[in-house]
Amino acid sequence: MTIEICSNSRQSAINAQAGGADRIELCHNLEIGGTTPTAEDIAYCAQQLKIRTHVLVRPRGGDFCYSPEEFDLICQQVEMCRQCGAAAVVVGFLTPDGMIDEEKTRHIVSLAAPMEVTFHRAFDEMKQAPLEALEAVIRCGCHRILTSGCQPSAELGIPTIKQLVDHAGGRITILAGAGVTPLNASRILSQTGASEIHGSCKETLPDGSFQTSTKIVQQLIESIK
């Protein structure tokens, strides 16, 4: 079982490791769905932490249909992640009509190597049938899909996540995420058959910002033992 914690800062990443997480998905600006973190934070986490660092590469909030200029920036940021020592990048691309953008995804998979590539929750916003979209992402060579089963939360998406896990048959990893807490993680894993789960385990700080809580990470891990 692999526990991935979405960490919105260097301190959140440190807290995730202290709580026993297997890896982090490092990002900034989680309040708008996450954007690419700084090179300094990527390098610190990739080089100083003992757990794997996966990095969200997303130049802005909003949709997942990018202009040529935005895609050029994404390519530059993927290269930055490799130079900083990241283990994987987390990306997602849709066409204007809501299909998996296989051309862009294939390009990033090739560019990112030897880093792994996770196709993120853009998957949950596409207009294809889930199994059709799954095959598209597999064709592109991605290593995993982060999904809530096309629902607002992974708990609500349990039936579809299970369907994806079964249909994938080990060809790609299905990472269950969105709304994962110590109260529902065990149920999500047991009822979907997923081998990886993704949560933020965040707490609100006195100034209104939030960061990953070591205690909640520990509770999450304890709940699935």
Interhelix angle for 10-19 vs 214-223, to 10°?
A: 40
For residues 97 and 67, what is the distance between their CA atoms, to the nearest angstrom?
14
The reported pLDDT for the residue numbered 131 is 97
| pLDDT digit string, tens, across residues 123-139 | 999 999 999 999 999 99
Rg (CA), the chain: 16
Mean pLDDT of 23-45: 96
Q: For the chain, give the mean pLDDT.
A: 97
Mean pLDDT of 164-180: 97
The reported pLDDT for the residue numbered 174 is 98
Q: Is the pLDDT of residue 225 over 90?
A: no
pLDDT category, 73, cuts 50, 70, 90?
Answer: very high
For residues 121 and 113, what is the distance between their CA atoms, to the nearest angstrom?
21
pLDDT category, 195, cuts 50, 70, 90?
Answer: very high
Contact 116/84 with Cβ under 8 angstroms? no
Contacts of 169 (CB under 8 A, 6+ apart): none
Model pTM score: 0.95
For residues 120 and 199, what is the distance between their CA atoms, to the nearest angstrom?
13
Mean pLDDT of 90-111: 97
| Token reading at 183 | 């109260």
Query: Can you give the three-state secondary structure of the chain, one letter per residue?
Result: CEEEEEECCHHHHHHHHHHCCCEEEECECHHHCCECCCHHHHHHHHHHCCCEEEEECCCCCCCCCCCHHHHHHHHHHHHHHHHHCCCEEEECCECCCCCECHHHHHHHHHHHCCCEEEECHHHHHCCCCHHHHHHHHHHHCCCEEEECCCCCCCCCCHHHHHHHHHHHCCCCEEEEECCCCCCCHHHHHHHHCCCEEEECCEEECCCCCEEECHHHHHHHHHHCC
Q: Is the pLDDT of residue 144 over 90?
A: yes
- As a whole-number percent, the residues of the chain with pLDDT over 70 amount to 100
Q: Is the pLDDT of residue 108 over 90?
A: yes
The reported pLDDT for the residue numbered 208 is 87
Q: Dihedral sign for Cα 98, 152, 180, 62, please.
A: positive
Q: Dihedral sign for Cα 148, 182, 214, 197, please.
A: negative
